[in-house]
Amino acid sequence: MGSRNEDYIEQRAIDTANYLIENNSTIRETAKHMGVSKTTVHKDLVIRLKDINHSLYENVKEVLATNWEERYLRGGLATKKKHEMLRE
């Protein structure tokens, strides 16, 4: 049986994965919601979750792949918005 800390980390990884999937959020948004760093979220989802719950891990991979494909669009929109605000 795992220690309390290991149990906490496993539960945090599961909760983080569920939040990411349900809200179709980014790692940054998920980290902010969970109150942890982006590095912690990434490690929970990409490294730890695979051993904890593989089917949940597969679902997370799909969301992260979509986010990866869309990140250039989000960056471009953010830059456009920034320049529009500067012009005002």
pLDDT by 10s per residue, the chain, length 88: 568 989 999 999 999 999 999 999 999 999 999 999 999 999 999 999 999 999 999 999 999 998 887 776 666 666 777 777 878 7
Predicted TM-score (pTM) of this structure: 0.76
Name the residue range of residue 8's domain.
4-87
CA nearest neighbour of 30 among 39, 40, 41 = 41
User: Which bin fits 17, alpha (ψ -120 to 50), beta or left (φ > 0)?
Assistant: alpha
Domain count for the chain: 1
CB of 31 closer than 8 Å to CB of 38: yes
